[in-house]
Chains A and B, each alone.
Chain A
Amino acid sequence: MRLANKVAIVTGGSRGIGLAIARRFASEGAAVVVGDLDLEAARLAAAELEKLGVGAEAVKCDVAQTEDAELLASHALNRFGRIDILVNNAGITRDRLLLRMSESDWDVVIAVNLKGAFNCTKAVAKTMLRQRSGRIINIASVVGLIGNAGQANYAASKAGVIGLTKSLAREMAGRNITVNAIAPGFIETKMTEDLPESVRQAFMSRIPLGRAGTPEDVANAALFLASDESSYITGQVICVDGGMVM
Chain B
Amino acid sequence: MTESEIFEKVRQLVVDKLDVDEDEVTMEASFQDDLGADSLDVMELVDDIEREFDITIEEADLDTIKTVGDAVRYIASR
A interface residue numbers (CB < 8 A to B): 126, 129-130, 171-172, 174-175
Q: Please report the C-alpha to C-alpha distance between residue A126 and residue B43 in the assembled complex, in whole angstroms.
A: 10
Grouping DSSP codes into helix (H, G, I), strand (E, B) and loop, the B interface class, with mixed when no group exceeds half, is helix
Give every chain B residue within 8 A of A175 (Cβ-Cβ). 40
8 more A-B residue pairs beyond the given contacts A126-B44, A172-B40, A174-B40, with a C-beta to C-beta distance below 8 A: A126-B47, A129-B40, A129-B43, A129-B44, A130-B44, A171-B40, A174-B38, A175-B40
Give every chain B residue within 8 A of A174 (Cβ-Cβ). 38, 40
Can you identify 11 A-B contacts, CB atoms within 8 angstroms?
A126-B44, A126-B47, A129-B40, A129-B43, A129-B44, A130-B44, A171-B40, A172-B40, A174-B38, A174-B40, A175-B40
Distance between A163 CB and nearest chain B CB, rounded to angstroms: 20
Cβ-Cβ contact count across A and B, 8 Å cutoff: 11
B interface residue numbers (CB < 8 A to A): 38, 40, 43-44, 47
Distance between B52 CB and nearest chain A CB, rounded to angstroms: 15
Give every chain A residue within 8 A of B47 (Cβ-Cβ). 126
Q: Please report the C-alpha to C-alpha distance between residue A172 and residue B47 in the assembled complex, in whole angstroms.
A: 16
Q: Please report the C-alpha to C-alpha distance between residue A172 and residue B38 in the assembled complex, in whole angstroms.
A: 11
Q: Which residue of B lies closest to A171 (CB)?
A: B40
Q: Which residue of B lies closest to A130 (CB)?
A: B44
Q: Please report the C-alpha to C-alpha distance between residue A130 and residue B17 in the assembled complex, in whole angstroms.
A: 10
Q: Please report the C-alpha to C-alpha distance between residue A78 and residue B37 in the assembled complex, in whole angstroms.
A: 29
